[in-house]
A and B are shown apart, each in its own frame.
Chain A
């Protein structure tokens, strides 16, 4: 990996990391989700810092000559799993919102008729 690319990856990783910290401070992201994204930002940082280690994992452990492919596989795999998880979460929330919406409307009608 060239020096310029390494510096760019490092900057993106560090920038992403601070962006996540800001999101936690501003309460716009739950800490449990933030842990996950912090892991991703640290992974981005590590790509430039621990390049030889990833090369070793790719060639000796997994048996892939080009380490970049491992990074793509890891990131795409993570995103697929995460999108699946979010889809499940949205479905559950859709059910909950529907029940809440109905219950609220029923209770509102009962209150209206009592007053």
Chain B
């Protein structure tokens, strides 16, 4: 029996987390295991997760953006030998009933890095204008590098194969700054990338980590990260081989 871990990442999501976990248990694929990765929340996020009876990996301090949780779920999934790992946002944007779409390609051995894209079917929440603009830029650049058309490269609705887990948990233990870096490093490491259409919702409570000031910093940081990954390409390929 292949084991799938759903890592629910949360930062100050006490109002959304309970409903997210309920959705996962009621509408998620059968047999999935759940872990909440709490990025040093200052509210009752950890208490809500513990009350729901799920394992909680809670950072003692906030490590900046949500990318700080990525290392934790890679290490957790690798340590517990899962066959598939999914990232699922604790803010209620992701739909548990859509999980099977990103899990199936990994378990069937068709892909190593599956992105749930909200822009393929163009249904549900399509994000805000400036965010979409930034995503389009990254999608264009990442598609050029990867050599296949990608649309929602910053999507947090992702699934990884054990090959990707092993790479980030063992071979590339470096701080990750954004999803472009995660995607491109996985690609250089030999991961097969796949995008599948999914539906997302708008968050119910709280605010996104992407504020108005991020509209300037977010694209700049992304482009710098893409260039950085290109420089690391040869070394990554050697590491994987």
User: Which A residues fall within an 8 A CB radius of B?
Assistant: 91, 94-95, 97-99, 101-106, 108-109, 112-113
Contacts and interface: CB of A to CB of B under 8 A. Distances in A.
Interface residues of B, number: 19
B132 interface: no
19 contacts: A99-B75, A101-B63, A101-B71, A102-B71, A102-B72, A102-B75, A105-B57, A105-B58, A105-B59, A106-B72, A106-B79, A108-B57, A108-B58, A109-B35, A109-B55, A109-B56, A109-B57, A112-B56, A113-B55
A94 B68 CA distance: 11
A72 B149 CA distance: 52
A39 to B, nearest CB: 32
A93 to B, nearest CB: 10
B57 A94 contact: no
A100 to B, nearest CB: 10
Contacts of A94: 175
B121 interface: no
Interface of B: 35, 37, 55-61, 63, 68, 71-72, 75-76, 79, 173-175
Given A106-B75, A108-B58, 7 more contacts: A102-B71, A105-B57, A105-B72, A106-B57, A106-B72, A106-B76, A109-B58
A95 B173 contact: yes
User: For the complex, would chain B's binding face be called helix, strand, loop or mixed by DSSP majority?
Assistant: mixed
A91 to B, nearest CB: 8
Contacts of A97: 63
Chain A interface main SS type = helix
A99 B61 contact: no
A30 to B, nearest CB: 23
Contacts of A113: 55
Contact of A104 (B60, B76, B174): B60
A98 B58 CA distance: 13
Contacts of B59: 101-102, 105
Most buried by A among B60, B63, B72: B72
A101 B60 contact: yes
Contacts of B173: 95, 99
A105 B38 CA distance: 9
B76 to A, nearest CB: 5
A103 B56 contact: no
A99 B71 contact: yes
Contacts of B174: 95
Contacts of B37: 105
A105 B60 contact: yes
B77 to A, nearest CB: 10
A94 B173 CA distance: 11
